[in-house]
Amino acid sequence: MEKAKRKRCPDYSELEVLTLLEFVSSHKATLFGTGGKGSSKEEKVKERYWKKAALMLHAAGGPVREWMQCRKKWRDLTSKAKAYKAPKTGGGPPLHEDPLYERILGILAKEVVVGIIPEDDVASSQAKRKRCPDYSELEVLTLLEFVSSHKATLFGTGGKGSSKEEKVKERYWKKAALMLHAAGGPVREWTQCRKKWRDLTSKAKAYKAPKTGDSFHRARRGLRCTISS
């Protein structure tokens, strides 16, 4: 009965899928090697990394999944992404651009994608990713909520920490980027999210800082009130 329950895992949430994409993008050289089946030692390393992927998905709020389920999910996603880019009957590109499938195709090795996505499209897709639109109100609120919940980890004691601490901070900013994408925003780099937070804090401080001449004008208004009374 317990085994049956484990097999009937719920569908992958959007955040789980994005977490899987982020993990595969960061570790694709280890997860796939040169393609095909490697040596016994290489396959053990791959298995260990897929287990890490399963842990990451669970940390993102998903149920406990076997590493083979995560690997299968990735394979299913790549199959759908290739079918999405494959020429349709009558020719021409897909009717609507799908950001998820475009991201998957961007992660895949060039030799896997060859003949499916032209080089010009790859360059165009990368250029689009760099020219991100402005942050929506929901993205900003999501960022504020995330920072509020994880500020001790994101900032530590202030300033630059040890190499290990900086790696942890980077991992959490990557989670923030995933959260913003899950909130309907475009794919953004973790450094862009961190920069957005810094820009917001700078504006907030400027908003609270006394303006030039404020104290003088307040004093003058007070004097007028005193005279009129």
pLDDT at 15: 87
Whole-Å CA distances, 115 to 43, 99, 215: 28, 19, 68
Q: What is the mean pLDDT of residues 24-44?
A: 81
CA distance linking residue 41 with residue 227, whole number of Å: 89
Backbone CA torsion sign across 104, 109, 115, 119: positive
Over range 28-52, report the average pLDDT.
Answer: 84
Q: Which of 38-42, 131-135, 222-226 has the lowest mean pLDDT?
A: 222-226
Q: What is the mean pLDDT of the chain?
A: 77
**Which of the two residues, 140 and 37, has the higher pLDDT score?**
140
- What is the reported pLDDT for 221? 58
Closest CA to 6 of 61, 53, 51, 68: 68
* 3-state SS track over the chain: CHHHHHHCCCCCCHHHHHHHHHHHHHHHHHHHCCCCCCCHHHHHHHHHHHHHHHHHHHHCCCCCCCHHHHHHHHHHHHHHHHHHHCCCCCCCCCCCCCHHHHHHHHHCCHHHHCCCCCHHHHHHHHHHHHCCCCCCHHHHHHHHHHHHHHHHHHHCCCCCCCHHHHHHHHHHHHHHHHHHHHCCCCCCCHHHHHHHHHHHHHHHHHHHCCCCCHHHHHHHHHHHHHHHC
- pLDDT (average), residues 50-69: 90
Cα 31 to chain centroid, rounded: 19
Angle between helices 14-32 and 40-59 (to 10 degrees): 160
| Digit-coded pLDDT (tens) for 64-114 | 999 999 999 999 999 998 888 877 666 566 667 788 888 888 888 553 544
Q: What is the pLDDT of residue 214?
A: 59
CB atoms within 10 A of CB 188: 20
**Mean pLDDT of the 115-128 span:** 44
Provide the pLDDT confidence category of residue 142 given band limits of 50, 70 and 90: confident
The residue that leads in pLDDT, 169 or 92, is: 169
Q: Which pLDDT does position 114 carry in this prediction?
A: 43
Give the pLDDT confidence score for residue 7 in this predicted structure: 59
Least confident of 92-101, 139-148, 217-226: 217-226
* Predicted pLDDT of residue 159: 72
pTM of the model: 0.49
